[in-house]
Copies of this chain bind each other. A is one copy, B any other.
C-alpha cells in the first residue's frame, strides 16, 4: 500500500477544493454579504492543508494501484465534505457540524437532501457554494482534476474507474485525460446553455447559474425554498426538464450527438429505454392527475413530466408535492426511485442500463428454459453481454436491495414511520433528494436525529460511488497482503 501517495493525492484534492471556494468568495464579494470571511478562511485552511501535505509527500512514487484507487476515491469524498462544510459553519449559516456535513455531502454526492428550512435567508455566496458542490460532484472532482492537470501519472485510469464505475465504462478517447477533458467540456457547455436559457426565461442571472449547476449535476439544490415551484413559468420548467433529461443521458452519447451523428443516438438501446420509461410514467401519471385533480391537461402533463424526469434522473427538483397525489401515483413515483439515470451520466441510482440488462436476462431465461441446450446470451446494443458483466450487475442489484432493506430496518430505530424510513433510505442511496412521509418534497431533513444524518450521509456516499468502490474497503481480502 502506497500510503504516501494516497496522502499526496488527497492533499492535491484539498488544494482543488480550496481553489474552488475562491469562486464562491468572488460571489460573496460581489454581494458584499457577511460570508466573505468564512470563504477566505475555509479556502485558506483547505489550500494550506493541501499544500503542506504536498510538500511533505514530494518524493512519493506516482504508481497508483487498484487498491490505492479505491481508498483515494472513497476518502476524497469524505475530505471534500469535511472542508466543504467549513463555509456553512464559519458563516453561521449552519452552525452545527453534523448538519453542515450532511448538507455538504448531500451536495457533493448530488443527492440534494437538505436540512435548511429557510433557504432564502442565507447569503448569496453560501447558496452559490451549495450549488457549486453539486456541480463539482456531478461530473466528479477527480475527473475534473484528471482533465485540467497532469498530476496523476499512470494511475489516472484507476481513479477514473473508481469514481465513474458504471457497468460498462465507455471511453471517448483511449487517453484518459482526453476523455475527462471532453466530458467536462460537454458538461460546461450544457451548463452555460442552460444558464442563458433560464436567464432569458426570467430567472436572475445568479439563480440561473445556480440552477444550471444543480440541474446538470442531477443534484436538485435550489436557491428557493419552494424549489422550481417558485417560478410559475412553464418555459423555465420545460427548460429544466430538458436539461435534467440531458444530464441523465450518457455524456458519451451527447458527445456523439454534438458531433452530428444523431442516428447512432437514436439506435442506442439504453437511450431508447430511458426515453420509453420517461414517456410511459409521464403518460400514466398525467392521466391519473387529469382524472383525480382539477388540473388542466397541460398543467397535469407538465407536473407529471417534471416530477418523473426529476426523480428518474435522481435530480430531486420539485414543482409539485407528489405526496399530495392519489396513493397509486405516489407509489409510481416511488417505483422510479429504483431506476436512476443512464450509465455515464451524472444521474445516480441503479441506472437504466443495469435495469434493462436484468430485464433482458430474465426474459432470455424463459427462452433458455424452452431451448435448454442453446446458448442464448443477453444482447445489448447488438453485442452479447459478457457473463462477467451480468454477474456484476447481479451483484450490484442484490447489494442495492439488501442495503436498502437492512438500512430501512436500521433506520426505523431512528424514524419509526415505515414509509418515511423507506423514503429516506431510498432517496439517500439513490442520490435523489426528497423522500416519502416526513422527508417528502415539502419537508426537509432537519428533524432527523444526528445518528440518522450520519447514517444517511454514509448511504449517499455509497450510492454516489455505486457501492463497490466503498464496500470493497470493508472486504477482508482488500487488506490482506
| Residues of chain A having any CB pair with chain B under 8 Å | 66-67, 70, 327-328, 331-332, 335, 358-359, 361-370, 372, 387-388, 390-399, 401-402, 405, 408-409, 412-413, 416, 418-419, 468, 471-472, 475, 477-478
- Interfacial chain B residues near A332, Cβ < 8 Å: 409
The CA of A263 and the CA of B393, in the complex, are separated in Å by 36
> Which residues from chain B contact A472 at a C-beta distance below 8 Å?
366, 369-370
Question: Is A367 within 8 A of B477, CB to CB?
Answer: yes
B405 adjacent to A335 (CB under 8 Å): yes
Instruction: Identify which of B365, B405, B412, B477 contacts A395 (C-beta below 8 A).
Output: B365
Q: Is B409 touching A328 in the complex (CB atoms < 8 A)?
A: yes
How many chain copies?
Answer: 2
Residues of B within 8 A of A368 (CB): 388, 392
Specify which of B70, B361, B398, B419 is in contact with A362 (CB 8 Å cutoff): B398
State the majority secondary structure of interface residues on A: helix
Could you tell me the distance in whole angstroms from the C-beta of A435 to the nearest C-beta in chain B? Answer: 15
* Chain B nearest CB, measured from A415 CB (Å): 11
B395 touches A398 (CB 8 A): no
Complex interface: chain B residues within 8 A of A408 (CB): 331
Contact of A370 among B67, B409, B412 (CB under 8 A): B67
CA of A158 to CA of B248, assembled, Å: 46
Least CB separation from A475: chain B residue? B366
A75 CA / B463 CA spacing, docked (Å): 44
User: Does A394 contact B468, Cβ atoms closer than 8 Å?
Assistant: no
In the complex, chain B residues whose CB is within 8 Å of the CB of A367: 475, 477
Determine whether the beta carbon of B335 is less than 8 Å from that of A66: no
5 A-B Cβ contacts within 8 A?
A: A67-B370, A331-B412, A358-B394, A366-B468, A387-B387
Q: Please report the C-alpha to C-alpha distance between residue A66 and residue B395 in the assembled complex, in whole angstroms.
A: 31
- Contact check: which of B369, B393, B405, B412 meets A327 at CB < 8 Å? B412
Query: Do B477 and A366 touch across chains, with their CB atoms under 8 A apart?
Result: yes
Complex contacts, A358 vs chain B, CB 8 Å: 394, 398
Chain B residues near A66 (CB-CB < 8 A): 369-370, 372
- Give the residue name and chain of the B residue nearest to A331 (CB): B409
Q: What CA separation (Å) do A394 and B401 show in the bound complex?
A: 13
How far, in angstroms, from A388 to B365 measured CA to CA in the complex? 10
In contact, B328 and A361 (Cβ under 8 angstroms): no
Distance between Cα atoms of A401 and B363 in the complex (Å): 14
When chains A and B are docked, how far (Å) is the Cα of A341 from the Cα of B412? 27
